[in-house]
Amino acid sequence: MRAPDAMVALDAVSKRYGGKAVLHEVSLAVERGECLALVGHNGAGKTTLIKLMLGLTRPSAGRILIEGEDPAGRAAVARRAAIGVLPESVAFHNAMTGWEVLAFYARLKGQSTAVCDGLLADFGLAEAAKQRVGTYSKGMRQRLGLAQAVMGAPRLLLFDEPTSGLDPAFRQSFYELLSRQRDLGTTAIISSHALTEIEARADRVAIMNRGRLVACGSLEGLRDAARLRTRLRVTVKPGEAGRLAEELGALAEIERIDGRTLELTCPAGDKMDLLRRITALGPAVEDLDLRPPTLEEIYQTFAMGEGS
């Protein structure tokens, strides 16, 4: 377990359901104000970890603390109002209106129902406030779920697939909301399959595979650990590609070449040397596109390494 003042700390946490082990000695700390992306295939253990953090179930072995307290203990009950949760499957009573749902959560969290109108407006639900939830689309239900999760200035947010069902505009709005919450010092843990979306928004990424934490770190740190190659696409003046390939071949592997284009890969550690060499080629180079390994590629590397 890392820093004693971490918002979330797991120490060798394992979980079994009957004879089936779903988590294996997971150790992880999430600092205050940090955004951690939790990624992995279906059944990797992500949702089980969130349930443990909420105190909905207890670990079979190991220890978990939220702000220094056992989340399933009596002393943690009073802290639960400071945790905002969006489960993977959002379920509300179909006969209640959107406003009534938020009013219900406001009372649970000790908030005034006066906050409901503003939250409904923030999430594009003002005109549907008096409609029954049973008439809401999946995206509207998801936005209602997000509204109740952020109610009351939570210190910890636990999101399970938060952008599921959201259109592109509201996906962007969600990440703007997340940024504002982080500015307020809120800790966020986001379980997501939307790797392209989350890679630029998380401070660190924790990769789960078959109940084990197989990697955790910043995106740059995971790229280094995965030892994936950086891709470059160089556009040159007509007829120059062959000559430039000879000059750059010592630093990179030539993947593709035609009259005006070179596609190369190089180890991450050689990237800056290769860029300097390309820049020194002067007017022969017309354009350069650099593409470091994506989170999807990093995830596949660690998942394949664990025998998935």
Could you report the per-residue pLDDT of 157-193, keeping only the tens digit for each? 999 999 988 999 899 989 998 898 888 899 999 999 8
On whether the CB atoms of residues 261 and 249 are closer than 8 A, the answer is no
Domain ranges of the chain: 8-223, 229-292
Could you report the per-residue pLDDT of 48-63, keeping only the tens digit for each? 999 999 999 999 999 9
Of the candidates 202, 176, 182, 180, the residue with the CA atom closest to the CA atom of residue 191? 202
Determine the pLDDT at residue 30. Answer: 97
Token pair for 268: 């991450």
Determine the pLDDT at residue 303. Answer: 82
CATH class of 229-292: alpha beta
Determine the pLDDT at residue 305. Answer: 67
Determine the pLDDT at residue 94. Answer: 95
| Alpha carbon distance 33, 85 (integer Å) | 16
Of the candidates 53, 49, 56, 11, the residue with the CA atom closest to the CA atom of residue 29? 11
List per-residue pLDDT tens for the chain, 308 residues long.
445 579 999 999 999 998 899 999 999 999 999 999 999 998 899 999 999 999 999 999 999 999 998 998 877 777 777 899 999 888 899 999 999 999 999 998 889 999 999 999 999 999 999 999 999 999 999 999 999 999 988 999 999 999 988 999 899 989 998 898 888 899 999 999 889 889 989 999 999 999 999 999 999 899 989 988 999 999 999 988 888 888 888 888 998 888 789 899 988 888 888 899 898 888 999 999 999 899 999 999 998 765 44
Q: What is the architecture, at CATH level 2, of domain 8-223?
A: 3-Layer(aba) Sandwich (3.40)
On whether the CB atoms of residues 82 and 155 are closer than 8 A, the answer is yes
Q: What pTM did the predictor assign?
A: 0.87
